Amino acid sequence: MSEIETESLWEATRTQNLFRYRPSGKYFARLKVGGKSIRNSLKTTVFSVAELRQPDEIEKSRKIEESRRRFGNGKLTFADAVQICRDKLEVNPE
């Protein structure tokens, strides 16, 4: 029997927490928010563009998680509710 090499579909880049998915060539930001590991698409195949989009994507994900945490602990104020709606609109304007 010959050894079968299993090659990962994910390729690490020189930038921390930035990975490229080999089949599509798209870049993803990998981060840990609220104890969960999340991979978000940066919707580009160009490395320099992915580097610029990564910090914004991380900030957006952390904002959403913070809003969920405030909502989940039962101490939601009106200002928090408005901020949750604004955060959701920023992520998905539809």
What are the DSSP calls for the chain, one per residue? -PPPP---SEEE-SSTTEEEETTT--EEEEEEETTEEEEEE---S-HHHHHHHHHHHHHHHHHHHHHHHHHHTT---HHHHHHHHHHHHHH---
pLDDT category of residue 91 using cuts at 50, 70 and 90: confident
28-43 confidence digits (pLDDT tens): 999 988 788 989 999 9
Position 88 scores a pLDDT of 79
pLDDT tens digits for range 9-64: 999 999 999 999 999 999 999 998 878 898 999 999 999 999 999 999 988 888 88
